[in-house]
Chains A and B, each alone.
Chain A
């Protein structure tokens, strides 16, 4: 949690001023028992009505000063807490943007979402309360004790005993609750993940009529959360009665000691009242504190979770820049790759070259490593063996942003974001003109999709792009990859939901407009890649063939099987 405080640095002024004003307010409050003692000893005893009036006026003035100080303090506290949460949320979001693919594989999405939302809300509340109260409480407690010493040092010794006891109770309970709050947050994560799962899988759940069992699984997580919450609540609700009991027992001691001193004429009756008032102030303060403790421990637990994300490694470090080597636009030299924690290589010893204006087809069975190859080429993962060169430079040393400029990618899962279609298409090039966009849409055979929507390029895209069909989304994703004229275009199975006629038309348009652009097409269909200059055949992560369609038909058995499975039989009809 501690390292999070650097996000308060823009609010340093507020962070210092809020408790400071709170302390001044507390000082004003601490004067009240003194004024009352004077009222009793000087005003009532001596029947001085004027003194009594002046004292009462002083009480009112103290109240007014307190008000002004408190409002200022609240403002600063709110500003610091909200600002802190804002910076923290932003830092966390930025951090997530920096995570590499392999980091994202290892982090749960649900837990990232709770950390960014509910956890930070709790931290904000805790910081706000801390600035307002947590510093004030010890101040009032110690202040009351010091004031008690000024009234009568002998009796004030009671305060010296009671304060450590109360502190032990407060910190003891906090220490016990902290790990429990951690459990609560983890349990909340699970509730969130169950909720998301239910929303995302709603069609499948309904198709299998599994609503009931999903509900009962949710109930189990929900029940578990309630159980830990109750258990933690049981412990934190000990604090209030404990303080109440302690303070009142010490009130007895205080009055007894005071009574002895009064009996011997060493203390006045008013002084005893003042001492009692100080003790009561401590109690009032502790009750406030007790109510806070839950919030503060929760805040700390949440802070630790946020910090864990901020502290985690972002991914692979950049390699040192080396002098460009000769070679084509893309070159793979004996590239291998293994996912974190996987037992075997997902790709093994892949070697090929691709020049400007050329097309590479990649084909292979389910799980043969096609998408992994694309992810390596785009620099999302680092090869665990061999070398990948892009324009002769090792891909590991090329800045990610630079790489994204060169590469236009249409991923296997065509994801559109909510917003307008234009927003989505301008991802690669925010400055693209209408002409650029329309040209890309035409090449991707998606013009009719845009034409059918109200608002054309500015039509609304619903969350997840659900107002477009699967095939429409795929074509839009291809258009998106084309905007900004990339040097390398990668189509990762981006035509799987298209009918053959549309796909053929798209393929033709892509070829015509290619120019110097190199294209990598990943597909299951031989028809999609048959025209490529070179075809890479993958089988269970290994390169089993590289060559043209005709060469491969001749000498690559896997390729021939794939081809025959789709074509020969069909053509035979």
Chain B
């Protein structure tokens, strides 16, 4: 995981994200300026009011009423503008975060599995959900307060200069101290925020792993040990959170204290000026000036508070950006062609591959497959069968060597088009949280009801589906409801419905009882006719009538041939085959 990417980079990314809403953001800025101008005029008018009520029998009611109307109009107008600004900010922020999540999910589809497999899903989920949310919160706060704050400061300064130049100069002179203090604290807080969101990711990853396998945890009575491990992560997370929360909340009192000093200085200077009869400053003027001095300070408080929130949100945003921009991207190179309606000839030349660069798994693998051939891959566990499939499906890219489909180099074909020509059933089933119907029609959403039922029947899944509470409309999910074998039947029905020209069955029937399997075999046989198929299976009955059996060991094909040939050879395959009759 990369450390700080540099906030400048992050800020650029935020701005480019905001670009789509630039017009609205500008409008929000203009509204902020207008709203501030109106709200700043009110203290001035109140100051004039105060001057109009100097003492007993000295009240100028006529002037007073005129000022009242002005105040009312400003209050009404200001309220309207504030509301409009609020609406715009909402829109900009929620759209921005929506776009951010949309970008992230799109990137996820292009991120290579070699990047995703070793990373906990929980951490990625935390980035896309919690981090994006915190980012949104901070952005909203930034928008609604940073703009107004900045506009208020500028506006107040102008109004104050209008009232009294000297005191304004005192105020303006003392201001940088506030900014400096805010900056000082902000710098130190950023690290604590970053640590907090890092630990939050760790906690989410653990929670995700533990909660989604809660049944396994229970089966081993691991509740206490897991709780202890969680307690440790939780403790570290809260220690970081306390630091981040406390240090960030120092900004506000600090700047407020400095503002109190500025306020006192302005009150002192103003009072002395009136006593000394210097200039035209009146008590009303001073009152207005002081309420400006208080208001002038307020945005600093808010901005400094907002800055800490923003930092938290930027730290979180950065984690989302890492996912979007700093993870590798699997794009098909320029000029790739589509593999359309593949015939099914596959040639593999000197394929090399390793997950871990230190240990080569697949070494100079060569294989020629003719259209319509049925290839069985057998071998002891961990010999590279699943890896070969990962490479054929182009989930992983080979380190060396080439794969040709119908004589075309796979490197020059789009990944999508290669995959579309394969139908795949894996041992690890995946069920989408949706209806049975949608799950079967996953690869062909336009399939008709009859086709779906026919596919389910072919996979011998129709029986148990019709026993489900709502039949084909029952909502199923990965975590509950179906047995492992039933899930596998649904996955088989999924492929039965699509029937692409090449098939991969990786332990496709491992959880299905053998009687059902036998029945499915017939359907499989029909499906495989004329289609190039790869079958990984331990049940050698599935393998026997293959056109070619690849006996793999330690990433190499050690034997290749038909069942009878290999048995006659009396080598590795024969040993494996005969072992199933021993007990």
Contacts and interface: CB of A to CB of B under 8 A. Distances in A.
Interface in B463-522: 464, 467, 469, 478-481, 483-486, 488-489, 491, 494, 498, 507, 510-518
Interface residues of B, number: 188
B412 interface: no
A264 B58 CA distance: 9
Given A241-B80, A272-B53, A430 B484 contact: no
Contacts of B231: 90
Interface string A299-342: 00000000000000000000000000000000000000000011
Interface stretch (B249-257, B365-373, B398-406): B249-257
Contacts of B575: 501
Interface string B203-214: 111011111111
B267 A480 contact: no
A365 B78 contact: no
A340 B226 CA distance: 27
A500 B538 contact: yes
A262 B426 contact: no
B118 A463 contact: yes
A219 B220 CA distance: 39
A500 B579 contact: yes
A201 B487 CA distance: 14
B268 interface: yes
B227 interface: yes
Contacts of B220: 404, 409, 427-428, 480
Contacts of A194: 105
Contacts of B265: 56
B108 interface: yes
Contacts of A226: 94-95, 97-98
Given A203-B426, A280-B291, A409-B220, A251 B46 contact: yes
Nearest to B118: A462
B200 A121 contact: yes
A367 B483 contact: yes
A404 to B, nearest CB: 3
Interface in A249-306: 249, 251-252, 255-256, 258-260, 262-265, 268-270, 272-273, 276-277, 280, 284, 291, 295
Contacts of A569: 541
B484 A40 contact: no
B526 interface: no
A263 B217 contact: no
A85 interface: yes
Contacts of A223: 98
Contacts of B14: none
B386 A469 contact: yes
Interface stretch (A229-237, A384-392, A433-441): A229-237
Given A230-B91, A255-B46, A524 B274 contact: no
Contacts of A199: 108, 116, 121, 124-125
A419 B208 CA distance: 14
B309 to A, nearest CB: 10
A53 B269 CA distance: 9
A543 interface: no
B419 interface: yes
B144 interface: yes
B208 A113 contact: yes
Interface in B224-275: 224-227, 230-231, 234-235, 237-238, 241-242, 245-246, 249-250, 252-254, 256-257, 259-261, 263-265, 267-268, 271-272, 274-275
Interface in A379-399: 380
Interface in B86-118: 86-87, 89-91, 94-95, 97-98, 101-102, 105-106, 108-109, 113, 116-118
Contact of B94 (A67, A233, A284): A233
A571 B583 CA distance: 14
B283 A94 contact: no
Highest count of chain A CB atoms <10 Å: which of B55, B113, B134: B55
Given A89-B234, A570-B540, A371 B483 contact: yes
Given A90-B234, A463-B119, A202 B256 contact: no
B15 interface: no
B341 interface: no
Q: Interface SS of chain A: helix, strand, loop or mixed?
A: helix
Contacts of A493: 484, 511
A211 interface: yes
A573 B564 CA distance: 10
Contacts of B257: 63-64, 66-67
Interface string B25-59: 00000000000000100110010011011111111
Contacts of B39: 244
B424 to A, nearest CB: 4
Interface string A190-212: 01111111111111111111110
A150 interface: no
B267 A524 contact: no
Highest count of chain A CB atoms <10 Å: which of B117, B419, B580: B580
A262 B57 CA distance: 8
A10 interface: no
A242 B212 CA distance: 46
Contacts of B529: none
Contacts of A16: none
Contact of B105 (A204, A218, A262, A411): A218
A137 interface: no
Contacts of B106: 215
A500 B105 CA distance: 42
B566 interface: no
Nearest to B231: A90
Nearest to A524: B513
B416 interface: yes
Contact of B125 (A57, A195, A230): A195
Contacts of A344: 467
Contacts of A417: 209-210, 213
Contacts of B420: 209
Highest count of chain B CB atoms <10 Å: which of A192, A199, A371: A199
Contacts of A413: 216, 484
B541 A113 contact: no
A63 B125 CA distance: 45
Given A255-B64, A471-B382, A504-B579, A411 B203 contact: no
A259 B52 contact: yes
Contacts of A531: 583
Contacts of A412: 484, 511
Contacts of A215: 102, 105-106, 109
Given A52-B271, A430-B225, A531-B583, A371 B484 contact: yes
Contacts of B427: 470, 497
A508 B307 CA distance: 67
Interface stretch (A101-109, A159-167, A170-178): A101-109
A297 to B, nearest CB: 13
Highest count of chain A CB atoms <10 Å: which of B42, B53, B422: B53
B82 interface: yes
A566 B246 contact: no
Given A56-B264, A500-B579, A211 B109 contact: yes
A497 B510 contact: yes
A87 B65 CA distance: 58
Nearest to B442: A208
Nearest to B579: A501
Interface stretch (A72-80, A138-146, A349-357, A512-520): A72-80
10 contacts: A44-B286, A52-B268, A60-B260, A200-B121, A251-B71, A273-B283, A463-B121, A470-B381, A480-B220, A500-B580
Given A195-B129, A531-B583, 18 more contacts: A52-B272, A55-B267, A63-B260, A70-B252, A82-B238, A114-B129, A117-B130, A237-B83, A237-B144, A249-B75, A256-B68, A280-B294, A342-B469, A371-B484, A427-B220, A472-B381, A561-B515, A566-B541
The 10 lowest CB-CB distance pairs between A and B, nearest first, are A471-B381, A63-B260, A237-B86, A404-B221, A366-B485, A248-B75, A233-B90, A500-B580, A265-B56, A70-B253
